């Protein structure tokens, strides 16, 4: 058994995942990611990180970043991330992420980064003007994961390429230094049914940046607003089909049925079995009631937490402490392997603890 597997508790893998502090989260974030994080924490040792270092790869307003960081923490806690069972913290509080990212900068080839499609999308036409941080974003992501030698990473489809790069970096490091240091983390891609689309256009993803607030259900929306948004959601004039084939080409119908199935924790087939032949006039009120029942307790809890920001901060501090305890010895091992002349591992650990 090598050192990377030795630290993982028997029978459990270690999960790491990150979420951007982009302010108010919505139903798409909840059904697409957060709900899976909550479920996975029972089967894995789970480390969940609010990635504020990644956020500054594009310009941020400092006050807004602080606010959004607390909001995302509140959403995660309110959605059921247990801060006893899991580790929840902010990335910038554990400097080992940045340190490992530098080492990985020196292992990663330009050619690998040049293939990253998300950079091309985010940088757009004016690539010369994008920050170097945006370009090396995936290297920091690899560092996030491997600072903890995580074995499994729950991510959406859009992050799959970054995870493949993480595996390439882990492999390159292990081969350059001829030591089996890092595991090759496996993606846990979320199911297709959880891809939540805009309530105004079934062809685009539900998004925080959509100009129409009616296109999304925010986790902080009150029951009246949730009801209203579902009532106004775009549909077509036909009745609901009884079988999946009948949803083909009906993007809005598919989206609403998918949301119902995800919230009710059942299969799309089951929803169609119950509602096939009935119109949206029947279906929408039932969907609205279900959405309110599932989401309004989360909104209430978030509002409560956000009134007590010190409590959120102390939860995150405790999380950062637990994360540091795992990260510190792993980075000490990396420094040693790379050949940095320094204090002994024990002394380094102490130095880092003391400040």
Q: Which residues pair with 14 in a beta bridge?
A: 45
Closer residue to ligand TRP, CB minimum distance, 32 or 230 = 32
Closer residue to ligand TRP, CB minimum distance, 145 or 199 = 145
Given 51, 169, 226, 302, the residue binding ligand TRP (CB under 6 A) = 51
Closer residue to ligand TRP, CB minimum distance, 54 or 70 = 54
| Token pair recorded at residue 131 | 């920050």
Residues that are catalytic: 122, 205, 208
Stretch that binds ligand TRP, among 138-146, 275-283, 319-327, 337-345 (CB under 6 A): 138-146
Between strands 152-155 and 186-189, the pairing is: parallel
Residue 142 Cβ vs ligand TRP, minimum distance, rounded to whole Å: 8
Tell me the residue nearest to ligand TRP as measured from the CB: 18
18 binds ligand TRP (CB under 6 A): yes
| Token pair recorded at residue 130 | 């994008």
Stretch that binds ligand TRP, among 11-19, 176-184, 202-210, 227-235 (CB under 6 A): 11-19
Residue 145 Cβ vs ligand TRP, minimum distance, rounded to whole Å: 5
17 binds ligand TRP (CB under 6 A): yes
Spatial contact of 266 and 294, defined as CB atoms under 8 Å apart: no
54 binds ligand TRP (CB under 6 A): yes
Closer residue to ligand TRP, CB minimum distance, 142 or 288 = 142
Phi-psi region of 180 (alpha: psi -120 to 50; beta: other; left: phi over 0): beta
Q: Which of 39, 41, 36 is nearest to 85 (CA)?
A: 41
116 binds ligand TRP (CB under 6 A): no
Stretch that binds ligand TRP, among 153-161, 200-208, 296-304, 320-328 (CB under 6 A): 153-161
Spatial contact of 197 and 167, defined as CB atoms under 8 Å apart: no
Classify burial at 245, counting beta carbons within 10 Å of its beta carbon; exposed 0-12, middle 13-18, buried 19 or more.
exposed
Classify burial at 248, counting beta carbons within 10 Å of its beta carbon; exposed 0-12, middle 13-18, buried 19 or more.
exposed
Query: How many angstroms separate the first and last alpha carbons of the chain?
Result: 34
Stretch that binds ligand TRP, among 12-20, 212-220, 261-269, 302-310 (CB under 6 A): 12-20
Q: How far apart are CA 314 and CA 332, in angstroms?
A: 27
Closer residue to ligand TRP, CB minimum distance, 17 or 254 = 17
One-character DSSP codes across 2-64: -HHHHTSPTT--EEEEEE---SS-BHHHIIIIIHHHHHHTTTSEEEEEE-HHHHTTS---HHH
Which residue shows structure tokens 């986790």? 219
20 binds ligand TRP (CB under 6 A): yes
Residue 59 Cβ vs ligand TRP, minimum distance, rounded to whole Å: 17
263 binds ligand TRP (CB under 6 A): no
How many residues contact ligand TRP, by CB under 6 A? 12
One-character DSSP codes across 219-239: TT--HHHHHHHHHHS---SSP
Closer residue to ligand TRP, CB minimum distance, 72 or 306 = 72
Closer residue to ligand TRP, CB minimum distance, 37 or 275 = 37
Residues in the chain: 355
Stretch that binds ligand TRP, among 10-18, 219-227, 257-265, 291-299 (CB under 6 A): 10-18
153 binds ligand TRP (CB under 6 A): yes
* Residues lying near ligand TRP in the complex (CB under 6 A): 16-18, 20, 51, 54, 141, 144-145, 153, 155, 159
């Amino acid at each position: 058994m090598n050192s990377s597997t030795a630290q993982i508790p028997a029978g459990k893998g270690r999960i790491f995942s990150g979420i951007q502090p982009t302010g108010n989260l919505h139903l798409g974030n909840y059904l697409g990611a957060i709900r899976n994080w909550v479920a996975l924490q029972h089967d894995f040792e789970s480390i969940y990180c609010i990635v504020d270092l990644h956020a500054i790869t594009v310009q941020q307003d400092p006050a807004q970043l602080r606010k959004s960081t607390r909001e995302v923490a509140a959403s995660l806690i309110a959605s059921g991330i247990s801060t006893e069972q899991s580790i929840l913290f902010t990335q910038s509080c554990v400097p080992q992420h940045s340190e490992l990212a530098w080492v990985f900068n020196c292992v990663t080839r330009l050619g690998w980064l040049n293939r990253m499609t998300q950079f091309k999308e985010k940088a757009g036409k004016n690539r010369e003007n994008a920050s170097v941080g945006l370009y090396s974003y995936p290297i920091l992501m690899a560092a996030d994961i491997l600072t903890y030698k995580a074995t499994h990473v729950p991510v959406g489809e859009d992050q799959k390429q970054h995870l493949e790069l993480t595996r390439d970096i882990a492999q390159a490091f292990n081969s350059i230094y001829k030591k089996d240091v890092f595991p090759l983390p496996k993606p846990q891609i979320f199911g297709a049914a959880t891809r939540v689309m805009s309530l105004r256009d079934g062809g685009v993803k539900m998004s925080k940046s959509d100009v129409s607030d009616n296109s999304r259900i925010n986790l902080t929306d009150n029951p009246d607003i949730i009801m209203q948004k579902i009532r106004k959601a775009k549909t077509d004039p036909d009745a609901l089909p009884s079988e999946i084939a009948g949803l083909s080409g009906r993007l809005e119908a598919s989206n609403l049925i998918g949301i119902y199935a995800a919230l009710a924790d059942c299969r799309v087939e089951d929803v169609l079995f119950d509602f096939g032949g009935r119109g949206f006039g029947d279906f929408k009120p039932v969907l609205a009631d279900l959405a309110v029942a599932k989401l309004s307790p989360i909104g209430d809890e978030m509002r409560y937490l956000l009134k007590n920001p010190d409590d959120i901060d102390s939860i995150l501090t405790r999380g950062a402490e637990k994360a540091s305890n795992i990260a510190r010895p792993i980075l000490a091992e990396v420094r040693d392997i790379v050949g940095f002349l320094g204090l002994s591992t024990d002394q380094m650990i102490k130095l880092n603890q003391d400040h």
